[in-house]
Amino acid sequence: MAETLSALAMPLVVVLVGMIFLFGKKDYFDAFTRGATDGLHTTVKLLPTLVALMVAVSMLNASGAVTMLSELLSPLASAIGIPSELLPLLVTRPFSGSASTAAYSALLDSVGADSFAGLCASVIFGSSDTVVYVIAVYFSSVNIRKTRWAFPCAFAVMLFCIFFSCFFCRLWFF
């Protein structure tokens, strides 16, 4: 039931859009191509940043730093229930979307997308955002310097997200 629901969500949206094409009063295909072009542009514009950060993350992995730090942290990590392989993702996630995309896809390549660490990383990647970046952009757009409890709250939510993702994955998948 749950499996079907999650596998169906995406195709359902595609079919819904197809129905809008069929029965809509306007020609919605124009809207589609416009949106798709935008999407393409944003993705392609991501490449320079992604290249730099993938290189950095790949160097970090090759230098043995990730393995070493992961091993060092693994007693702590297993005590609190978070796989130590998640470290690069957790460190980059609050700051930058491209850096955490690089860390996430490097992680999937090294431990596998369907391993416990890979699943936890996926849930964290899917349900958190670039905390520091978002808050900085939002408040600087209206010239607010005192952000008061914005950062403490956002980081508390992020921590909860990390712990709860790992907890829920253990419950859900194993």
Partner 1 sequence: MLGKIFGVLCLISLIFAIFTGNIEALGSAVLDGAASAVQVLLSLCGMMCLWCGMMQVLSQAGLIRRLAKLLSPLLRIFFPTAYRTGEGIEEISANISANLLGIGNAATPFALRAMEQMQKHNPIPEKADPEQITLAVLNTASVSLIPANLLALRRAAGSENPYAVMIPVWVVSLLCAGMSLLLTSLPRWFDRILHKRNDRENSHG
Q: Could you tell me if 124 and 157 are in contact, meaning their C-beta atoms sit under 8 angstroms apart?
A: no
Task: Decide whether 90 or 150 has the Cβ nearer to partner 1.
Answer: 150
Distance in Å, CB of 97 to partner 1, minimum:
9
73 binds partner 1 (CB under 8 A): no
Chain-centroid distance, C-alpha 148: 26
Q: Return the residue of 73, 85, 127, 174 that touches partner 1, per CB under 8 A.
A: 127
Task: Decide whether 34 or 76 has the Cβ nearer to partner 1.
Answer: 34
Classify 145 as helix, strand or coil. Answer: coil
Q: Could you tell me if 151 and 135 are in contact, meaning their C-beta atoms sit under 8 angstroms apart?
A: yes
Residue that is written with structure tokens 């079907």 in the block: 4
Rule CB under 8 A: which of 77-116 touch partner 1?
92, 95-96, 98-99, 101-102, 104-106, 108-109, 112-114
40 binds partner 1 (CB under 8 A): yes
Q: Return the residue of 22, 26, 75, 174 that touches partner 1, per CB under 8 A.
A: 26
22 binds partner 1 (CB under 8 A): no
Q: Number of residues interacting with partner 1: please give it, by CB under 8 A.
A: 103
Q: Which stretch binds partner 1 (CB under 8 A): 70-78, 79-87, 119-127?
A: 119-127
Q: Is 168 buried (19+), middle (13-18) or exposed (0-12) by CB count in 10 A?
A: middle
Cα–Cα distance measured from residue 101 to residue 25, given in angstroms and rounded to the nearest whole number? 39
Classify 149 as helix, strand or coil. Answer: coil
Tokens of 172: 């859900």
Q: Return the residue of 75, 78, 165, 174 that touches partner 1, per CB under 8 A.
A: 165
